[in-house]
């Protein structure tokens, strides 16, 4: 499992964590950096789904944490059939 800590959670609340991986979702677009579009976690969700990984998002000590639990890919037949090892 890998945990990725991002910038401080600032204004994030527990209720926001249910929406945080929605494409283009931003807590408050008026204070959001114009270089960020809210696609990163939605892409993580889609890729995680493809490889049967589990994601979790939570706040810990005022910081946003994203957790990704990746399965043992060597057990996946699709990877073996495709020649991926």
How far is the C-alpha of 22 from the C-alpha of 37, rounded, in Å? 11
pLDDT in tens, 39-73: 788 898 999 999 889 999 888 887 888 888 988 76
How far is the C-alpha of 65 from the C-alpha of 73, rounded, in Å? 24
Res 54: pLDDT:
92
Tell whether the model's pLDDT for residue 8 goes beyond 60: no
CATH pick for 2-81 out of 3.40.50.1980, 1.10.1660.10, 3.30.565.10, 3.40.50.1010: 3.30.565.10
Res 75: pLDDT:
64
Domain boundaries, the chain: 2-81
**Considering the chain, what is the average pLDDT of its residues?**
75
The structure's pTM equals 0.64
């Amino acid at each position: 499992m890998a945990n990725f800590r991002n910038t401080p959670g600032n204004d994030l609340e527990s209720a926001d964590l249910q929406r945080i991986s929605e494409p283009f979702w931003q807590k408050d677009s008026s204070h959001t950096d114009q270089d960020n579009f809210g696609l990163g976690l939605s892409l993580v969700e889609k890729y995680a789904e493809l490889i049967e990984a589990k994601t979790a998002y939570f706040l810990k000590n005022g910081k946003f944490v994203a957790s990704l639990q990746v399965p043992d890919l060597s057990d996946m037949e699709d990877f073996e059939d495709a020649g991926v090892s």
